[in-house]
Structure 1
């Protein structure tokens, strides 16, 4: 991923927050020079053992028979930026752009299909999301009908050894431009635009005036 220095994020906590808010990833593998892509919810773990993503495919998915190197793409919020918002739009001949946050996580992919492992994965995935919604559905391993559902999936762990986090948030602009764009995004109706504004105030305003103009 092309990542100018101004847009590189080295803070592990920023990655934690990005995946916590966006746990539905794009998983890419390559076999016989042909890429295969799946879109999947994942569990994220970062501790002294490293970073791991875990999830599962439907058993018929061809990617469920892949192993080796894989890439997970974490898609954060994004928003169009109009040059009309910049205070220096005329003097600097500003043009439209797009602000966004994304992470590429590369590592070794390992699959599993034992009942205990799959049951634990499904229970953990559902617990995270049910808790966020204030709901109480839970996988019940003592129920035969719940356990039978596990036959239709294959699980995976992706142990991460390459991390690239890119937050393109206007760090290469003067602080006045960054502040103006953040204010504009905060006034829009979409949640993702406001999420970009929050990231800009956290990451871009402190870094403004320190980057170069290479934007994409």
Structure 2
């Protein structure tokens, strides 16, 4: 990998998610960190699409121009979120077209797409957002409170007739490897922690909801041991 370069994988991930969500998606390509190039790409996107997703460039570094360009072109409704991962997520309207800004780190980008991007698509297509599916599980380890609301990935599994939630441990592993098998989420409010043995409410992402169904029958099926043995 040359100095100053990085692997751009978020567009592939977002494209795959959008296709799974039932959208007609197109990747606009990598845009240089230049305000003029960003402006041209955004204007092209809002002319062609019902919704635009732009990744990265929304932090505070010297070449992060995304928010400046969004403020110039449209109305910024959300500057950033009060939750991590994915704090640097924004929502802007340019000529009536929603533009969702997602963070650069893949872990945060993935979570933002699972929850906020899918919710936005639901609102655009059906006029309402589907409620998330939840299950109760017993924590295997402490989850300390943080200075910000936090989406803690967990792995659900059955043992001795109990549904357990194991917090992801990224020490010694890449963040992508730590989160890949653990798409379920324990939402932790700011400065609110949980202790091992506590029963917590775990949220299932949309791809699991699609497999289990969103009616009561689907929810009850997802309490079976077989559903979490994969």
TM-score range, shorter chain: under 0.3
The structure carrying a bigger strand percent of its residues is 1
What TM-score do you get using the length of structure 1 for normalisation? 0.23
Bigger radius of gyration, 1 or 2? Answer: 1
State the TM-score, normalized to the length of structure 2.
0.22
